[in-house]
Amino acid sequence: MAEPKVVFFNALSDEYRPLILDKAPPGINLITAPIGMDEAKKIELVQDADFLMVFPGKLPDAVMRAAKKCRLIQVLSAAYDEINLKLAKGLGIPVANNGGANSVAVAEHTIMAILAAHRRLVPYANHVKAGGWRASQNRKVDVFEFEGKMLGLLGIGNIAQKVARRARAFDAQVQYFDKYARLSPVQQEALGAKPVSFEELLRTSDVVSIHVPLTKETTHMIGRRELSLMKPNAVIINTARGGIIDEGALFDALQSGTIAAAALDVREHEPPDPNDPLSKLDNVIATPHTAGPTLESFPKRAVNGFANIMRVWNGEPPLWTAQFE
């Protein structure tokens, strides 16, 4: 039986690439290529490919059209927003994500961001690094505990459920809004998470954490109106995709005291302008889209990705596929 040809476009460093390649099963023809390769060379490479694997999830339309034998586009990230899903649907190629392989990493980052925002970790650390000690002689009490706070999760997928479980260890309360999914009563009891409306979540949460994909529907899901509904001491966390928040509205809300703080691992434009005022606010924690990539998450991505490819090769339907709009 012929071996499946898998073309893996990636931007991984020499340190991380083996964490993926070492998990490749025997009996596949795996070809790795830099994601920045000339498009004409990519087209030549994929013409007889059975599968395309990408990390990060960027794939030009012309390359997708050239992959006429392709049976699955396997993305090793959690989202598909950089893949033209409409084109993939037209070509009859399913697109799958990493099946929650980075969910632990993102959940841990989310909890870290919540605690750091509540304790003003970054500004105080920077103050000490700059040679200071006391923030002021008459410092107001502007640090808070997470215990007893209400955590509102926008979305209740793999990552959000792990965040909920970890938040309960801090004796926080948990509620969630998800337009398309609802936990079973057993799951809700296990996680201590109750479903609420979008507006109620915004009004009553001390922390709002975003865990939805970026789609036409969720673009600027959090704008001026939504921010105005939140508590003045509320914190917003975004480890999903930057475009879900209207950054202009967020800047104004943070500067005016409409909400207290934000922790942003993702931005509308990445990288953001070095002079971007949002990143410079004292009540913003900004990290460079690093919630998901950890040393432990890469082998998990690889195992899930290769297993999904072999499922399709063996005639089974793929897992974790995008719902085409």
The residues with which 237 forms a beta bridge, in sequence order, are 209, 263
Report d(CA 266, CA 287) in Å as an integer: 7
Is 270 annotated in the active site? yes
Catalytic pick from 120, 241, 267, 301?
241
Catalytic pick from 3, 270, 296, 316?
270
Report d(CA 50, CA 46) in Å as an integer: 8
Report d(CA 8, CA 74) in Å as an integer: 9
Nearest to 228 by CA among 198, 206, 249, 255: 249
Is residue 289 a contact partner of residue 263, using CB atoms and an 8 Å limit?
no
Is 316 annotated in the active site? no
Catalytic pick from 165, 166, 220, 289?
289
Q: Terminus-to-terminus CA distance in the chain, angstroms?
A: 36
DSSP character for 222?
B
- CA 248 to chain CA centroid, Å, is 21
Give the angle subtended at the CA of 206 by the CAs of 201 and 210, to the nearest 5°.
Answer: 60
Rounded to the nearest 5 percent, the helix, strand and coil shares of the chain are: 35, 15, 45
Is 147 annotated in the active site? no
Between the CA atoms of 85, 89, 94 and 97, what dihedral angle is there, to the nearest 10 degrees?
10
Which is it for strands 51-55 and 5-10: parallel, antiparallel or unpaired?
parallel
73: enclosing H helix or E strand: strand 72-75
Active-site positions? 241, 270, 289
